[in-house]
Amino acid sequence: MANDGIDLGRRGFLTGRRPSRPEAIRPPWSRAASVAAACTGCGTCVPACPQNIIVLDNDGRPALSFGAGECTFCGACAETCPEPVFDRSIAAFPHIAAIGADCFARRDIVCQSCGDACLETAIRFRPRLGGPALPEIASDRCNGCGACIAACPAQAIAVGARPSEAAHA
């Protein structure tokens, strides 16, 4: 799977509406507001990530590239950051996975790669007549790790706001 770098818009890493400039996915336990307020752009978190999924966006601030892999919640980014960007007392991510119209199963091609990749068993496949079972995200189980995003051969998975955090996004 290709590393999408900081081209966060091409694969639709969006939260709901399509803004003119795509919103970056911030590292776990950080939010857009805390990054804007406290991140100096030092880049310390980038090499600290063992998954190599932290990149700097066009403003020199950290963003996640889930196309390169998933977050394991190891905490290295939060631990290494010298500024008050991270808050380990909040939920790691304000998002959950969202499956789009490009999903192979929705186009009658059998595929369950996302379900195989999800350690949280947050993706269930609903049987249907006349076509492959369709994946569905269980919002109460999805931790937003992004493993399914990297695994999807159709690049059909993005992130969407977690219902309980939508007001704080």
User: 14 or 97, CB closer to ligand SF4?
Assistant: 97
The b/e string for 102-114 (b: 16+ C-beta within 10 A; e otherwise) is ebbbbeeeebebb
Other CB atoms within a 10 A radius of the CB of residue 132 amount to 18
Candidates 85, 156, 158, 160: give the one binding ligand SF4 (CB under 6 A): 156
Report how far residue 54's alpha carbon sits from residue 167's, in angstroms, rounded to the nearest whole number: 25
- Is 122 an interacting residue with respect to ligand SF4 (CB under 6 A)? yes
User: 20 or 111, CB closer to ligand SF4?
Assistant: 111
The b/e string for 80-94 (b: 16+ C-beta within 10 A; e otherwise) is ebeeebbeeeebbbb
Check residue 133 and report its DSSP letter: E
What's the min distance (Å) between Cβ of 167 and ligand SF4? 21
Candidates 143, 158, 160, 162: give the one binding ligand SF4 (CB under 6 A): 143
Check residue 68 and report its DSSP letter: G
- Is 25 an interacting residue with respect to ligand SF4 (CB under 6 A)? no
CA distances from 148 to 8, 45, 122, 165 (A): 16, 23, 10, 21
How do beta strands 62-64 and 54-56 pair?
antiparallel
- Is 144 an interacting residue with respect to ligand SF4 (CB under 6 A)? yes
What's the min distance (Å) between Cβ of 26 and ligand SF4? 10
Task: Mark 53-92 with x for binding to ligand SF4 (rule: CB under 6 A) and - for no binding.
Answer: xx----------------xxxxxxx---------------
Of 1-9, 11-19, 35-43, 120-128, which segment contacts ligand SF4 by CB under 6 A? 120-128
| The token pair that represents 145 in the structure block | 């790790």
Residues that bind ligand SF4 (CB under 6 A): 27-28, 48-49, 51, 53-54, 71-77, 96-97, 99, 103-105, 111-114, 117-118, 120, 122-123, 135, 137, 142-148, 151-154, 156-157
